[in-house]
Structure 1
C-alpha cells in the first residue's frame, strides 16, 4: 500500500490505557474469563504457530492489545475464541475510520449477552465496499461486566484491513449476499443478472488482445526473417573479402528481462537495471582461499561441545555451544556455533566462512565478530561467536509481540529506542572504519538479558530467514525489502545505503519484528520506491521517531543523515521518553 500520513501515539497515552486494565476490571480469583486467538487463526492471519491471549484467566495482556494486526485483502473475517467459568455479561461494538472503503463490521452473535461457559468462537465479518484502495483501521470493542455490577473491563481489538477497489461496483452484492440491496436501490437479483454482460465484455476483450498478440508476433517474425536474409547476404560478402568480422558480431547475445507490467514492445532490460545486479564476488572465492583467511584463528573441534540447536535451516544450523579454554580446561564459556549440514554444497560452505569474516578484527561494544573457527579436514567447517543469552533479535522481538503481561520479555517503547541507539552506535563505528555491512536488519543482530544489542554478520541468514531474501532473476538472493534504491538499481553500496537499511531496521523494532513491504512484489520494489512510496508508519510509533525513519529513506543519498547524527537524535528522543516514566 502507499505510504500513509504521519500518525503516532506518545507512550504516556498507552500508559494511561494500561490503567483501564487494572483490578477495576477483571482480577485474579474472578470469573475465569479467557479471550484469545487460536492457533488456526494466528496461522491464517500472520503465519505463526501459537495462540495469542488477550485475556487469560481474568488477566489482561498489556502487550497483546495495543498492536494492530494487518488483515490481508483476501481475508474477510476475524475469529475470536472465548469462554468463562461463571456469569459475565458483554456488549459488542465496532468502529471504522473510513466508511467509504469498508462498511461497519458484522458479528454472528448479538450485540450484547453473556459470555459462553464453554469454549466458543465468534466471527466478525469485514465488509469492504470496493469503492477504493485503502488501508482501513477498524476496532472491535468488547465490554465485559461481572455480575451485572459496575465493574466493567473494556477490550479494544484493533486491526488494519486492506481493501481493494473492484472493477464493477455491483460485484459487492455477490461477495456479500447478506446485503439485499445497494445504495441506488438495485437488488442482489439485479446484480446477478449483470454478470453475463460483464463476462461477454471480458470475452471480447480477451479475443481482441489475443488477435493483437498474434498480429504482433507475425510482424516480429517477418522482421526477423528479413533481418536474417540481410545478415546472410552480409556474411557472404564478408566471406568473399576474407574478413571474419561479420561472423563474430552477431554471436553476442544476452538474456533480456522485462518487468511484469512492461508491454511487449517496451524498452529492454537496460531501462530497468533493477534486474541486472552484478554477481556476488563471494562466489569467486574458493573454499581453500576462505579457509586460508581464517587459519590464524582456527582451533580444534574437540574444544567445542554442542548443547541446544537455536536455529535450523535447509543446510545450516546455529548451536548453543561450550568452548573449553585451551590452557585451563576447567574454564568454559558459552558460544554461538554456526555450521552446515552434510548435504551443503562447497559454495554454501565457502560463503558461510567468507561472510563470517565481515566484522573480523573490529572491536566495539555493539559488534559481534567471530572469535574462532574449526576447519579440520574431513569435518564441516564451524564458526564460533560470543554467546548472548536471548539470541537473535528478530526472533526475540516476535516473542515479545506474543508475550503475556507477566512475561519478563515484555519491553517498553523506551527499551526499543535504546536498542536502536546501540545499533546506530555500532554502525557509526563501521562507517568511521569505512566498512559497509550491506545486510543490516534485526535478523543479523543478537541481544542479551540486559537488552544489550550487538550487530553480527549475515552468514547463514539466507538459509535461516529465507522469507527475507528474494532472487530477482539472476540466481542471487538479496534482502530486497531492506535495500536502498541505488543498491537495487545499480548494485551500489555505501554507508548511506546502510543508513537506509537502518531505517527499515528501526521500523522492525517498532513493529516487534514484522516484515516490511509485505504486500509489495520484490520485482516491483525499485519502481515502488522511485515513485516516492515508503512503508507506512507503525502503530504506536511517535511522529518524531517515524520522521527519523523517513529521513533514512531519502532518494538522494546525500540527504540521508549520518550514523553519528542518528545516534545523537535517538539519544535525545530516548531522554524525552524518560520524562514520561
Structure 2
C-alpha cells in the first residue's frame, strides 16, 4: 500500500483542559493512488491544529488507530472527501458501544461499493439520542480492497451526550416554571462566583507582590554526581499552521507515526491586562557578548565583590573544557565561625579572556532579581592575578538535567523514586520563575533543564547560562556563524532572525517540560542542527513522551506555536499546570 497519513484538526482549550467545539481531519494515501479526507462542520475558532498518521511508509500505525478522538457535543456531522485513481472497493460499517445515548449513525453513501475516481464528498451523521447523560463511543470501520491487498481501518470517535429535559414544539422551546427557576438559580450562582473571583484576584495580586519581594537563598546538603547522556531515539510531531497546512513527507531518520496538537490560542479572560499584551521583543546581534571587555565586565560586578580568602573550594561538581563548578564554603564576613555552602563557577588557567568575559557577563543575567524560583549570583571574586569566581547559593541535588538522568538510571530499581506529580510540580516552579522574569521584561534566552538546579526538598530554581556551553557541549551547536547556540531549544524566529522575547522563552519552556517528562532526554536528537529551522518551519515537533498525559502534552504543543503571539503567557501556564497538578493529586 502507498504512503498514508491522517490529518486531524482539533479544538481544545488547554488552559481549562477541556475541548471547545469543532475540528477537522484529513486522511490521505500519497503517491496519487487514492485519498480520503474528512471535514467536521464546525471549524476551530482558535485555529488549533493537529495531525495523526494512521498509515505511513506502508506501515499501519496501531497507536494512531487506537487513539479515540473526541467529538464536540454540538458537532453532529463529519464530511469525508475521497477518491482513488485505481480500482478500490470499499465496505463501510458502524459499531456503537452504547446505542442508548447515541442514535444509529448514518451516511449519505451506500454501505459498499467502489471508491470514486474523482474527489467527492460524503457525510456521516453522529447525533445524540437525548435519552441520557453518557459518553458515547463510535467505531467507523472502512474496509478497502484493491488488486494488491485488503486493508481494514477503524476510526474511533467519542462524544459526550446529554439528556434533553424538554422538547420544542414547532421549533419553539416551551419554557416551564422549573426551567425559569433553574436559570434564575444559575444567574445567582454566577454572580456569587464572580464576586468571589474578584476577591480572590485581589488577594492574589497582593500575594504576588509579596512573593516578588522574597529573596530566595537556600542553604543545604550534598552534591549530585554526573551521568552519561541518553541515546534514545526520538519521535517527532508535525504542527501545521494556517500558512503551512499542506502535507509534508518526513524523510528525517527517527521519525515515526506522530500525534500532533499545536495550539494557536491560549487566552484566559481572568488574566490581568498586563499579561495579555504583546510580548516585548529583543533583537540580539551576533557576538554581542564579545563586545564587552573584561575590564567592563568586572566593573559591573564590583559592588558584590568579596575577598578570595573567604571562599574555600571543596569537590568539583561539574567540569568542562575550560570551566568548572565547585561545591564551596563561604565564611561570614562578620562571624568567621559561620559558614554558608555555595556553588562556585570559575575557569581553568588556560581559559581565554573572551571565555572569562563571557562567564562574567552571562552570570549577571539574573542579578538583582529576587524570587523563590530564581538563583542569581550572590558574590564574585575578581582580584587581580586570580581567575574570577562566581558564587551562588548551594542546592543539594545540583543541576536539574543531571538529577533527572540519575532518576532515569534509578527507575529500574526504584520506580517510585520520582512521580509524575513531582515532575509537574517542578514545571510549575519553573513557570513561576519565568512568569516573574516576564513581568520584569527580562528575557532568559537559554531556558532548559541544564540551567536549573534542584534542592533535596524538590525546590527548583532557574539560574543563568554561564559556562553551560562548556559543561553541556552536546546541547549547543555552531551553525556557521561562529556562535554556539541551544538550537534544539530555540523558537523558529530566534533561529531565523535572532529575535528573542518572552514568547521565545515560552517555546523553550515547552522543551524543558518535555525534558522533565522524559527524565532528561535530548530533544530532536536525530535531527541535524543545520536542518532544525527547516524542520520546525515544515511543522514538525518532538512527539508525546511515553506515559505523558494528553493534557500535559497539549500544554507543550501550545508553547510550540509558530506565531509568537499565539503562545500562552507564563502566568497562564502556571494556572494550567497548577490545576493539572491538583487533578493528579486527587487520584493519589
**In the alignment, structure 1 residue 548 sits paired with structure 2 residue 555:** yes
For structure 2, the 5+ residue unaligned runs are: 9-54, 62-231, 237-248, 252-282
Distance 1:433 1:405, change over 3 A: same
Partner of 2:336: 329
Task: Choose which of 490, 498, 517 in structure 1 pairs with 2:505.
Answer: 498
Partner of 1:344: 351
Partner of 1:539: 546
Contact conserved, 1:4 with 1:536, CA < 8 A, in 2?
no
Contact conserved, 1:358 with 1:437, CA < 8 A, in 2?
yes
- Deviation of 1:398 (Å): 0.1
Partner of 2:312: 305
Partner of 1:338, secondary structure, is strand
Q: How does 1:27-426 map to 2 (within 5 A)?
A: 101=59, 278-404=285-411, 410-426=417-433
- Deviation of 1:348 (Å): 0.2
In 2: Cα distance, 1:416 partner to 1:280 partner:
35
In 1: Cα distance, 2:6 partner to 2:306 partner:
53
Distance 1:409 1:426, change over 3 A: farther
- Deviation of 1:462 (Å): 0.1
Partner of 1:449, secondary structure, is coil
Deviations 1:502-549 (CA, angstroms, capped at 9, x unpaired):
000000000000000011111111111111111111111000000000
Task: Choose which of 569, 572, 576 in structure 1 pairs with 2:576.
Answer: 569
Partner of 2:78: none
- Deviation of 1:280 (Å): 2.3
Task: Choose which of 513, 519, 534 in structure 2 pairs with 1:527.
Answer: 534
Distance 1:523 1:319, change over 3 A: same
Partner of 1:452: 459
In 2: Cα distance, 1:457 partner to 1:407 partner:
32
The TM-score, its normalising length taken from structure 2, stands at 0.53
Deviations 1:234-276 (CA, angstroms, capped at 9, x unpaired):
xxxxxxxxxxxxxxxxxxxxxxxxxxxxxxxxxxxxxxxxxx9
Partner of 2:384, secondary structure, is coil
Partner of 1:222: none
- Deviation of 1:579 (Å): 1.3
Instruction: Report the count of equivalent residues.
Output: 326
Contact conserved, 1:306 with 1:322, CA < 8 A, in 2?
yes
Distance 1:502 1:5, change over 3 A: farther
- Deviation of 1:279 (Å): 1.5
Task: Choose which of 415, 432, 440 in structure 2 pairs with 1:433.
Answer: 440
Deviations 1:459-498 (CA, angstroms, capped at 9, x unpaired):
0000000000000101100000000000000000000000
In 2: Cα distance, 1:541 partner to 1:448 partner:
24
Contact conserved, 2:397 with 2:456, CA < 8 A, in 1?
yes
Partner of 2:115: none
Partner of 2:449: 442
Partner of 2:524: 517
- Deviation of 1:161 (Å): 9.1
The TM-score, its normalising length taken from structure 1, stands at 0.53
Task: Choose which of 500, 503, 507 in structure 1 pairs with 2:514.
Answer: 507
For structure 1, the 5+ residue unaligned runs are: 7-96, 104-158, 167-275
Query: What do you get for the CA RMSD once the two structures are aligned?
Result: 2.8
In 1: Cα distance, 2:571 partner to 2:389 partner:
35
Distance 1:335 1:549, change over 3 A: same
Partner of 2:333, secondary structure, is coil
- Deviation of 1:354 (Å): 0.4
In 2: Cα distance, 1:5 partner to 1:579 partner:
34
Distance 1:535 1:516, change over 3 A: same
In 2: Cα distance, 1:396 partner to 1:527 partner:
32
In 1: Cα distance, 2:501 partner to 2:565 partner:
11
Distance 1:5 1:337, change over 3 A: farther
Contact conserved, 1:277 with 1:489, CA < 8 A, in 2?
no
Partner of 1:534, secondary structure, is strand
Contact conserved, 2:323 with 2:470, CA < 8 A, in 1?
yes
Partner of 1:493, secondary structure, is strand
- Deviating beyond 6 angstroms after TM superposition, the runs of 4 or more aligned structure 1 residues are 3-6, 159-166
- Deviation of 1:278 (Å): 3.6
- Deviation of 1:410 (Å): 1.6
In 2: Cα distance, 1:549 partner to 1:577 partner:
17
Distance 1:162 1:101, change over 3 A: farther
Partner of 1:469: 476
Partner of 2:586: 579
Hey, which of these two has a bigger chunk of helix by percent? 1
- Deviation of 1:4 (Å): 11
In 1: Cα distance, 2:497 partner to 2:481 partner:
14
Partner of 1:317, secondary structure, is strand
In 1: Cα distance, 2:415 partner to 2:331 partner:
31
Task: Choose which of 495, 515, 539 in structure 2 pairs with 1:488.
Answer: 495
Partner of 1:479: 486
In 2: Cα distance, 1:462 partner to 1:289 partner:
22
